[in-house]
Amino acid sequence: MTAINNAGLIIKNMIKSDRIPGAFIFEGSPEITGVFADMLAKSAVCSDLDYKKDNGEACGVCEACRKALRKIHPDIIIAEPDGDGAQSFHIEKVREIIDGLYLSPNESDKKIYIIKDMQNMTPQGQNALLKSLEEPPPFAIFIITAANLDLLLETVRSRAVKFNLWDGALDAPQDNCGEIIKNILGRNPDKLSVYQDIIKNLEKSGKSGVLNFYYNLENAARDILIVKIFADNLSGARFLYFDNNLEILEKYAGNYSVKKILELCGKIQEYKSDLEYNANTRLNLSSFFSAII
């Protein structure tokens, strides 16, 4: 799965569960980051909650969606540089954002700030914005796009859930989730050292990589659960992680009880939400693996 597909899936899941973090950074070309920023902003203001819960995206037809489409929704605020060059995103624009930040949204429950090409923002601007990222009002969602994360202050980067959308970029380790589940649920006496290795690898991929790991692991566990519960009637079943590879799935499914897999799914969800809400990545990972020993 490409980084872009993966990011799309993660964001859909956030929208389905109505738990959208307060700050995102999309790294990539202006075209692709723009598409993601648009999609997320629309989904945040769309008023058809049932549709969002089922589909993980904006309905496209409600009043809010129509306004968003015509770029006249008062709760989607776009800030961008004055030109193309470095330092062309001036602190005055940031001040405008900060001045209006604590005013309640006009029509939606959320207020979305799309901050484009942040790599061109002056350090003074970034510092000014940082205060808002640290203590945002509960209704605010910041969507930052940038060609290169290295040009953002580390303090800004660490406040947001990050997605690398450059083509071909891998922002998640493509671990073998089946093997990881086997380790978690099986009787491997070396569990602890296996966990240490997994944690060390995952940490390198940053917060978005670890979030991807949880989503993959949850999908893998769900696939195994389906095979266990519906063993006799699997025609038409769609698997999210194992790509309809029944032979492998049955191999994993044979070994564990439904109760154990359900427990694992619960823990994954718990620690995934925790991380979405800004928990420290290393702490989150080690608590997750200690919780499931």
Residues that bind Zn ion (CB under 5 A): 46, 48, 58-59, 62, 65
What is the number of the residue whose Cβ is closest to Zn ion?
46
Alpha helix segments (H runs only) across 205-257: 206-229, 246-253
CB of 132 to Zn ion, least distance (A): 27
User: Which is closer to Zn ion, CB of 43 or CB of 219?
Assistant: 43
Sequence-ordered list of residues with C-beta below 8 angstroms from that of 55, at least 6 positions apart, any chain = 12, 16
User: Which is closer to Zn ion, CB of 54 or CB of 134?
Assistant: 54
Instruction: Give the distance, in angstroms, between the CA of residue 5 and the centroid of all CA atoms in the same chain.
Output: 12
CB of 10 to Zn ion, least distance (A): 21
User: Which is closer to Zn ion, CB of 18 or CB of 99?
Assistant: 18
CB of 45 to Zn ion, least distance (A): 8
Buried b (16+ CB within 10 A) or exposed e, 84-96: eeeeebebebbee
- CA atoms of 185 and 194, how far apart (whole Å): 13
Contact 90, 125 (CB under 8 A): yes
The alpha-carbon radius of gyration of the chain (Å, integer) is 21
CB of 124 to Zn ion, least distance (A): 38
CB of 57 to Zn ion, least distance (A): 9
Query: What's the CA angle centered on 224, arms 218 and 230, to 5 degrees?
Result: 130
User: Which is closer to Zn ion, CB of 49 or CB of 229?
Assistant: 49
User: Which is closer to Zn ion, CB of 73 or CB of 267?
Assistant: 73
